[in-house]
Amino acid sequence: MFIRQEFDENDERAKKKFIDLFYACDRYKNLTLEIPTDPYTVDFYVYNGNRHIANVEVEVKKPWQQYNFTFKDVQILPRKRKFWEDETHNKGKRTLFVLFNKELTNHLVILSETMENIFRIGNTRNYGTEKTRNDDFYVARLDEVNIGF
């Protein structure tokens, strides 16, 4: 379920943190980020020179409140599916899902290839203090994600 207040509190700070981490990483020194003009698509396009090579979608996982990720799996809302399946949004490139803890002190990365191979589960689940209604989740096991870059 989309919660506007949480989005407003976290979206810009997560994007800024990602930009800082991206440009601080030597591995990405020849790459650049572009912010799409469409607010309903991925958060960033990644370029190597003039060549679009990947996309990035960032999010803060509110229940992840400490440095270590203590959950048994990672859940992604179905509305994010468009970022790995719909070429209108991903321009035919892989999408990296970067999920931050609430304090932005740690993050994990899930590749769109992983998302294509995981399954969908149903039912209403407890999500922190909020309850999601009528939302299923895509679930990635921890061995399918990367912690940090």
Q: For the residues of 79-126, what is the DSSP string, one character each?
A: GGGHHHH-HHHHTTS-EEEEEEETTSS-EEEEEHHHHHHS-EE-S--E
Q: What is the pLDDT of residues 115-139, one digit of tens each?
A: 776 656 655 455 444 444 445 677 7
Q: What is the pLDDT of residues 57-82, one digit of tens each?
A: 999 988 899 888 888 888 887 778 78
Reported confidence tier of residue 17, pLDDT bands at 50, 70, 90? very high
For the whole model, what pTM was predicted?
0.81
Nearest to 110 by CA among 62, 59, 43, 65: 59
Q: Is the pLDDT of residue 7 over 70?
A: no
